[in-house]
Amino acid sequence: MFCFQCQEASKGTGCTVAGVCGKPHDVANLQDLLVYLLKGISFLSLDVRLPEELDHRVSLFITDSLFATITNANFDRAIFVDKIREALILRQKVFTYRNEQFPDAATALPDAAIWQADSEQDFDAKARQVGVLSTTNEDIRSLRELLTYGLKGMAAYTYHAWQLNYTDKEVDLFMRRALAATLDNTLDAADLISLNMEAGKFGVKVMALLDEANTSTYGHPEITKVNIGVRNRPGILISGHDLKDMEELLKQTEGTGIDVYTHSEMLPAHYYPAFKKYDHFVGNYGNAWWKQNAEFEAFNGPILMTTNCIVPPRKSYIDRIYTTGNTGYPGVHHIPEGENGQPKDFSLLIEQAKRCLPPTELETGEIIGGFAHEAVMSVADQVVEAVKTGAIKRFFVMAGCDGRMKSRSYYTDFAEQLPRDTVILTAGCAKYKYNKLDLGEIGGIPRVLDAGQCNDSYSLAVIAMKLKEVFGLDDINELPISYNIAWYEQKAVIVLLALLHLGVKNIHLGPTLPAFLSPNVAKVLVENFGIGGITNVEDDMKIFLGA
């Protein structure tokens, strides 16, 4: 195996024996083979107008499969073997249709479009040949992977929007075009750089789509205080990013005597008006994804993982953890999609919860959030005034991911040491590094404004665009906003490409730069966009504050 798609890539270069995340080598290889087949399907469907039903199936399959290969989403070999079989069947359908419609179409097809096999052994053998290292030029490899990881992030957000019946054909078609482009040996670095920039454009589009899906379905996030303590009834803990699962779980647990708590990236569910009406929706339990081993053990009740990030579960709670959607782990119970459009059935978790002890209290108190674009704009006058009077000197976008590397304590120290006249804008699980610190307020505005999940980084971009308008500036970079972003997995890649597309310059990325950026590609990002890493709080603070 060779995998370097996340920030934890072994030795800062890549995982080769097993993933630092716990992904076994054979699963890593099978994920590569699945992505390879998606490229083949994409190639075959490029210039063909597929019949609607088949076209829809291709879009769903690509979205679903890319999402399943994201870091910490799915560790289950059997799932990937099934998906590879499904990919081969689907690819054959596209191939047959293409040949019927275009008997004269190009016959020189790439291997990804024609390779065949049906035994698992053959899958494993092929999987070892089609991974990242099969592109030998390191710059082309770097740009292909940057694009592929951006597409994985895009697929995650497309999937969530799709769950709420929001789709965008242009995004689907771009994903196919970009996947097929990674097979094209005639494309040079410049071509691939522009495709990556285009991915940023579609990244903005898909985040806007998901924002519309979430806010039209569940209302605009409101400024909300969330309890971080527990009650004395058994509970179910829900983690990940899928709001549709959140809604269903709340409905099905109503009146059962079971409480529902959020974990990690599900915290922002508390900000949505549609979920506030449930009395048994009690609060947020614990912290970011990487602390789940200890926190899930202490929770005592069932846990539902709706998306990444899963940490390989301990024996002590493996019988209490459930996966759904695109998540999976061998030996863990999976809640399937409902049949014939029916909702998923969470009764297994509810029955188990009734036999469990209430959660062990980890902490008490409240945290505040819900500062998505609509809520911030409702206090825009206050914000603008505070900037004009100098009460707020600068905003720091510290969105992104949290992770287990010790060096990430940088972000806690950075938040603590920021001058008192600065405000942190955050989204994603990165917030857990400082959202429980008492950083105070500026004229009633908290110094940490949490917009929501990582996809709600879109809200931060909307806020920046609106402020640019209000202050009558020509360039978003003239705003008093600095970007010190923490990344971990591929959703952060699409957020980054989206910000670059919006023209944001001088983004600092940490705790380490991606292993998949070759020195030359990193140079292009530095020279054209001012992208930088982080060093230490003191020196970085000086750079950011221009001291």
Residues making up the annotated binding site for [4Fe-4S] cluster are: 3, 6, 15, 21
The nearest distance, CB 8 to ligand SF4, in angstroms, is 4
269 part of the interface to ligand FSO, by CB under 6 A: no
Applying CB under 6 A, which of residues 12, 24, 26, 28 lies at the interface with ligand SF4?
Answer: 28
Tokens of 511: 């705790």
Tokens of 398: 């510290």
The nearest distance, CB 272 to ligand FSO, in angstroms, is 16
Give the footprint of ligand FSO on residues 386-425 (CB under 6 A).
401
Applying CB under 6 A, which of residues 34, 454, 496, 497 lies at the interface with ligand FSO?
Answer: 454
Rounded distance between C-alpha atoms, residue 17 and residue 2, angstroms:
8
CA-based Rg of the chain, rounded to a whole angstrom? 23
The nearest distance, CB 535 to ligand SF4, in angstroms, is 23
**15/282 with CB nearer ligand SF4:** 15
Give the footprint of ligand SF4 on residues 8-27 (CB under 6 A).
8-10, 15, 19-21, 23
Tokens of 502: 């919006």
**275/289 with CB nearer ligand FSO:** 289
**4/281 with CB nearer ligand SF4:** 4
284 part of the interface to ligand FSO, by CB under 6 A: no
The nearest distance, CB 314 to ligand FSO, in angstroms, is 19
From the list ligand SF4, ligand FSO, none, partner contacted by residue 326 (C-beta under 5 to 8 A by kind): none
- Using a 10 angstrom Cβ sphere, with 0-12 exposed, 13-18 middle and 19 or more buried, the burial of residue 338 is exposed
Rounded distance between C-alpha atoms, residue 170 and residue 173, angstroms:
5
Tokens of 101: 């419609």
Whether the CB-CB separation of 239 and 295 falls below 8 Å is answered with no
The nearest distance, CB 488 to ligand FSO, in angstroms, is 4
**Three-class SS state of 185:** coil
The residue sitting closest to ligand SF4, measured at its beta carbon, is 19
360 closest CA partner among 318, 317, 306, 308: 317
The nearest distance, CB 260 to ligand FSO, in angstroms, is 18
265 closest CA partner among 534, 513, 73: 73
Specify binding-site residues for hybrid [4Fe-2O-2S] cluster.
241, 265, 309, 401, 429, 454, 489, 491
Whether the CB-CB separation of 229 and 206 falls below 8 Å is answered with no
Q: Dihedral sign, CA of 453, 458, 460, 466?
A: negative
Applying CB under 6 A, which of residues 31, 45, 65, 71 lies at the interface with ligand SF4?
Answer: 71
3 part of the interface to ligand SF4, by CB under 6 A: yes
Question: Please, which residues have CB within 8 angstroms of residue 507's CB and are 6 or more apart in sequence?
Answer: 483, 485, 496, 499, 500, 529, 530, 531, 532
Give the footprint of ligand FSO on residues 98-137 (CB under 6 A).
none
**12/331 with CB nearer ligand SF4:** 12
**24/219 with CB nearer ligand SF4:** 24
The nearest distance, CB 494 to ligand SF4, in angstroms, is 16
Question: Please, which residues have CB within 8 angstroms of residue 1's CB and are 6 or more apart in sequence?
Answer: 15, 16, 17, 18, 19, 25, 26, 28, 29, 32, 131
Provide DSSP, 360-396: PP---SEEEE---HHHHHHTHHHHHHHHHHTSS-EEE
From the list ligand FSO, ligand SF4, none, partner contacted by residue 15 (C-beta under 5 to 8 A by kind): ligand SF4
**Three-class SS state of 421:** coil
Residues of this chain that bind ligand FSO (CB under 6 A): 241, 264-265, 289, 308-309, 401, 428-429, 453-454, 488-489, 491-492
Residues of this chain that bind ligand SF4 (CB under 6 A): 3-6, 8-10, 15, 19-21, 23, 28, 71
